[in-house]
Amino acid sequence: MKRLFSLVLGLVALTATAQRLHIPTRGEVGAACLPAEIAPIEAPFYMPQLQKPTFPDREVKLYPDADGKMQTRQIQQAIDRLSKQGGGRVTLTNGDWFTGRIILKSNVELHTEEGCTVHFSGEVEDYLPVVFTTNAGVELYSLGACIYANGAENIALTGKGRLVGPAHGGSIREGRPQNDGEIDPDTPVEERIFDGKKGRMIQLPTFFGPINCKNVYLEGVSFEQTAFWNVAPVYCENVIIRGIRISSFGQPCGDGVDITCCRYVLVEYVTTDCGDDNIAVKGGRNEFGYRVNRSSESIVVRHCLALRGMGGLTVGSETGGWCRNLYAHDCVCEGTRVGIRLKTRRPRGGGGENLYFERIRLKTEAEAMAWEMLGTSNFVGGLASRLPAPPLTHLTPSFRNVTIRDVEVDGCRMLVYVQGIPESPARNILIENVWGDTRRDESISAYGHYKPQPKPYVIDIVDAEGVILRNFQIESGKRQIRIVDARNLTMEHVQIDVYGEEPEVELSGEMTRHIKFEGCNF
């Protein structure tokens, strides 16, 4: 009778919450729903009311070459000349354009008309000389981005044009990409040169990659066939990304939007279908990010649609300079491997804190919500082993103060997966008001390179402290809940229906203590 009473209370609380809230569906978010104006920005931390930039009433219209010749110089000269005159708009009219790297300059809007398709060169030489840039959070000199800017203010890329990444068959895609393991942190940045000459490596260009810029605006365009990350602002302030479409599924490291060490960012009504994480917040990699010590902070992500991709709403894994004050709300992840994904690893350093997710719809291939702090042996070798725990250092990562509420789940293999690390457990987690059906066919996956291993757990919490799960109403094909080395964990009104059977709880670990269940059906 007591258990039945608790069940009724849980259902009443959850039903009341569901009636108050509307969780958006796929047809209510993404680029197709972009409104003309930017609605007021709300967040549980200070966030300025970002505005569309304005430009002088000055326009230069360019026309594509009828013979399909490269027009890099024509585009660049128009941008440079307009910037020197005080700014304005450079318009690429409809047709096929062929170009190398384009560098945006202050007070210039690059506008692409509907019917305009910009094809970027696949040859390294069309992105030289090298420019200051980063590769996954490591500062260096290389190709930069297809559309690049450094130290510019008041820049924009707008319109309904299609941007097509570096052509296949060229030296960029056939070259040897650089990785951070080949750079000594003590090597001066000016000596970290990757230009592809004399057998040297390159850094694959991002698609849109402003660095050290202020007042950056991106709206409406479509990105296709990138060679690396798509939209990747670094060290920028006051950034608006809205109404864009990104298509890179099947491209390794084909992230959608990667915000690295930026402040005051709005991402809204974006549609992504990616080869890696869809929308990610990053803070610099390992020792490199720790030394630069620039965080990503004060970021709002809203009304976005994430289709295929490894993570829908992601923080990390580059966390060296910290990721703080993220508010993601009213978003849909439908077909991603993981929905809400917080990831780091030893020795990434830094971490994430004050992260908020509200009114999210999730349909995922693997975990609906995941903390991944161990990494895998192919990246970090023996550090991927949970035990023995290494000593704390300045590069020990941390995740803390995370709130997830009002989540509807339309399918996943595991509902909640928290994998902290013993020396730095995931801390202060609140997940409340979660309902839906987590049952999913274990044999189905959209990812040929990813073979999900069936796991018996609906909830799996390892190395965590201060976790609250509250008001869950879940139908599940799995009945086991595992808790390993967790302390101060509370489950309130968590109801998991496993074909009419009660879930089973496994408790283990010397650190496990102060575990409380209230109003649960187990």
The total of other beta-carbon atoms located within 10 Å of residue 265's CB is: 25
- Phi/psi for 19 (5° steps) reads -70, -30
Residues 352/401, Cβ–Cβ less than 8 Å: no
Residues 6+ apart with CB under 8 A from 170: 121, 122, 123, 124
Identify the pLDDT of residue 7. 47
Query: Which range, of 94-103, 107-116, 443-452, 491-500, averages the lowest pLDDT?
Result: 443-452
Residue 213 to residue 232: CA distance in whole angstroms: 12
Residue 424 to residue 277: CA distance in whole angstroms: 24
Domain 24-398 classified CATH 2.160.20.10? yes
Residues 349/392, Cβ–Cβ less than 8 Å: no
pLDDT, one tens digit per residue, over 266-306 is 999 999 999 999 999 999 999 999 999 999 999 999 999 99
Identify the pLDDT of residue 382. 87
Identify the pLDDT of residue 1. 42
CA angle (313, 314, 315) in 5-degree steps: 140
pLDDT, one tens digit per residue, over 366-407 is 999 999 999 888 888 888 889 999 999 999 999 999 999 999
Identify the pLDDT of residue 19. 52
Average pLDDT across the chain, whole number: 92
Identify the pLDDT of residue 190. 94
pLDDT, one tens digit per residue, over 315-357 is 999 999 999 999 999 999 999 999 999 999 999 999 999 999 9
Identify the pLDDT of residue 6. 45
Residue 76 to residue 138: CA distance in whole angstroms: 27
For the residues 460-489, what does the mean pLDDT come to?
96
Identify the pLDDT of residue 444. 53
- Band of residue 163 on the pLDDT scale cut at 50, 70, 90: very high
Residues 225/219, Cβ–Cβ less than 8 Å: no
- Band of residue 441 on the pLDDT scale cut at 50, 70, 90: low
Respond yes or no on whether the N-terminal peptide bond of residue 166 is cis (omega within 30° of 0).
no
Measure Cα distances from 27 to 34, 245, 332, 412, 449 in Å. Answer: 12, 15, 9, 20, 29
- Band of residue 18 on the pLDDT scale cut at 50, 70, 90: very low
Identify the pLDDT of residue 477. 87
Q: Is the pLDDT of residue 465 over 60?
A: yes
Identify the pLDDT of residue 371. 97
- Hey, what are 212's tokens? 């050290």
Phi-psi region of 398 (alpha: psi -120 to 50; beta: other; left: phi over 0): beta
How much of the chain exceeds pLDDT 70, in percent?
Answer: 92
- Which residue, among 440, 367, 360, 364, has the nearest Cα to 408 in the 3D structure? 360
Q: Is the pLDDT of residue 180 over 80?
A: no
- Which residue, among 260, 360, 343, has the nearest Cα to 304 in the 3D structure? 360
Identify the pLDDT of residue 478. 86
For the residues 39-64, what does the mean pLDDT come to?
97
Residue 182 to residue 222: CA distance in whole angstroms: 33
Q: What end-to-end distance do the CA atoms of the chain give, in Å?
A: 14
pLDDT, one tens digit per residue, over 204-256 is 999 999 999 999 999 999 999 999 999 999 999 999 999 999 999 999 999 99
Q: Is the pLDDT of residue 176 over 90?
A: no
Q: Is 62 exposed, middle or buried (0-12, 13-18, 19+ CB in 10 A)?
A: middle
- Band of residue 15 on the pLDDT scale cut at 50, 70, 90: low
Identify the pLDDT of residue 174. 84
3-state helix, strand, coil in the chain (%, to 5): 15, 45, 40
- Which residue, among 17, 40, 34, has the nearest Cα to 358 in the 3D structure? 17
Identify the pLDDT of residue 13. 47
Query: Which range, of 160-169, 424-433, 454-463, averages the lowest pLDDT?
Result: 454-463
For the residues 160-177, what does the mean pLDDT come to?
89
Residues 458/483, Cβ–Cβ less than 8 Å: no
Residue 379 to residue 200: CA distance in whole angstroms: 23
